[in-house]
Each structure stands twice: as structure tokens, then as C-alpha cells.
Amino acid sequence: MDWLLAGLGNPGAEYARTRHNAGFWALQTFAERTGASLRMESRWHCLAAIVQNSGQQLGLCMPQDFMNRSGAAVQAMAAFYKVPAARILVIHDDLDLPPGTARLKWSGGHGGHNGLRDLDRALGTRDYWRLRIGIGHPGHKDAVLHYVLGAAPAAEQSAIDAAIDRSLAVLPDFLNGRSDAAQKTLHSD
């Protein structure tokens, strides 16, 4: 397997349309566009698929534990397929980016994101790629939990969906070793 793409979110219908699930939305969209069927894999506790895309064999992983415990599923699937952390792309929501913005980033801190915090612990490293989907910030730290677990208004959701579309459009460059070109295109929006 060449890459593992992991979308972060919370499982269950009650969380499906919440901002914290932007990583799930992106991975589901990618799966649909590539014809992949995400199926429950109990050994990794995630919805998973293997797909060929852009000349690469890709593993897709949507952990089915809550966000703050999502690292185990990603680590287990990566270990099974012997995918090093440097070949993992984690797709997640980001409070520090406005809706409609997306950024590719190599390594770094978790910035208070509980999914990334757990992933850092599970992988034993921060050295993996991130695709950050902007969801905006409520303006005050005390409002963050309610905000990320709430649905975005229609205009914001449309901007988030557009950012996901632009992100998926640069994946072929990214997956084929042209991360600079992918970043330049994505970050120019």
C-alpha cells in the first residue's frame, strides 16, 4: 500500500452533519468519486476500503471510535499494511482556518485537536501529513465544543464543501510526490 488516508470524525447519525466531521465528509466524498465502498473492519474498528487511484494503492480509514480515540484505528490499519507515518494523510476539521479554506501540512502540533492528539500518541510521532479543512472559530474558547458539535449554516457548509472539492482535486499531485505543487494550488485559493 502506497498511502493511508484517514478521515477524522465522530461516528453515529447524531454527529453526521457536525463541523467536527469534516474529515469524514472529505474521505466519504473521495471514496464515492473513486468507486470505493467503505466497509466496517472490526479488526481495525474503522470503515475501510482499498482503492487504486492516481497510480497508487490507497487505504481509506474512517475510525469508528469517537474523535479523541481515533488514533488506534489509524495505527492498526497502518501497521497491518506496513504504511509508515510519513505516508499517512490525516484529513480533519480545523478551527484556525475559515470555512472555505483547506491546507496541506507536514507534521506539527495538534493545536488542541483531540483527534490529532490521540493520533500523535498512537503513532508515536507527529510526522505525518495533514489535510486541514477550515470550519472557522466561534470567537471564544468556551464556545468551541458546542460549535464543533453543531451543524454549519448553509453558506458555511457550502464553503466547506467547496474546500473539500478543491482539496480532492490536488490529491493526484500530492499522492504522486508533488506535494509542493499540490500545496501551491490549494493554498492559492
Provide the pairing of β-strand 102-106 with 129-134. antiparallel
Alpha-carbon gap, residue 22 to 14, rounded angstroms: 14
User: How confident is the model over 132-166, as pLDDT tens digits?
Assistant: 999 999 989 899 999 999 999 999 999 999 999 99
- Ramachandran category for residue 109: left, alpha or beta (phi over 0 → left; psi -120 to 50 → alpha): beta
- Grid cell 478521515 is found at 7
Looking at residue 106, its pLDDT comes to: 96
Q: Identify the CATH number of the domain in which residue 89 sits.
A: 3.40.50.1470
- The chain-wide mean pLDDT, for the chain, equals 95
With CA atoms as reference, report the closest residue to 56 among 173, 181, 165, 182. Answer: 173
Identify the three-state secondary structure at position 52: strand
Q: What is the pLDDT of residues 40-61, one digit of tens each?
A: 999 999 999 999 987 899 999 9
Measured in whole angstroms, how far is the alpha carbon of residue 59 from the centre of its chain? 13
Least confident of 111-115, 129-133, 140-144, 172-176: 111-115
Please give the tally of structural domains in the chain.
Answer: 1
User: How far apart (Å, rounded) are the C-alpha atoms in residues 100 and 62?
Assistant: 22
Going by pLDDT thresholds of 50, 70 and 90, the confidence category of residue 189 is low
Interatomic CA distance for residues 146 and 22, integer angstroms: 15
User: Residue 76 pLDDT more than 80?
Assistant: yes
Give pLDDT tens digits for 94-112.
999 999 999 999 999 888 8
Q: Which amino acid is at 47?
A: L
pTM to 2 decimal places: 0.96
Q: How far apart are CA 38 and CA 25, in angstroms?
A: 13
Catalytic residue (one of 20, 45, 92, 113): 20
Q: Is 20 a catalytic residue?
A: yes
In this structure, what are the phi and psi dihedrals at residue 48, rounded to the nearest 5 degrees? -140, 160
Q: By residue range, what is the domain housing residue 8?
A: 3-187
**pLDDT value at 183 more than 70:** yes
pLDDT of residue 114: 87
